[in-house]
Amino acid sequence: MENQLSNRESNFLISGLSSHLFWDIDKKLIDPIKNKKWIIGRVLSYGLFSDWKLIYNYYGLSEIAQTAVQIKDLDKKSVSFISALTNIPLENFICYTIIQSNPKHWNF
């Protein structure tokens, strides 16, 4: 019974997310547990507020924050958003550390 519930919740999460998040993959191939980092990264970077609410209800803020800290390619806006919500310092995010260690000539 518990497994069926999680499958229903998983299907609800994937089917509820905006289709533009999956321009390069078939939605049917996505597993919300195995692909959690990828889903959270896509929603933070490209998602709508409705997508944010879906992952927030599915994963919870603490799980989203723990995962976001490990994502290497989050943009500044997404990192700042999660940092402000969770009071996690920017220096704790891998993407922030990588950006700081590889300065670019032009900052667009």
User: For the chain, what are the domain ranges?
Assistant: 2-23+31-101
- pLDDT band per the 50, 70, 90 thresholds, residue 5: very low
HEC sequence for 3-32: HHHHHHHHHHHHHHCCHHHHCCCCHHHCCC
Nearest to 67 by CA among 51, 77, 78, 76: 78
pTM above 0.75, yes or no: yes
* Structure tokens that stand for 14 in this block: 């994937």
CA separation for the pair 85, 68 (Å, rounded)? 12
CA separation for the pair 61, 65 (Å, rounded)? 6
**Model pLDDT for residues 20-42, shown as the tens digit of each residue:** 998 888 888 888 999 999 999 99
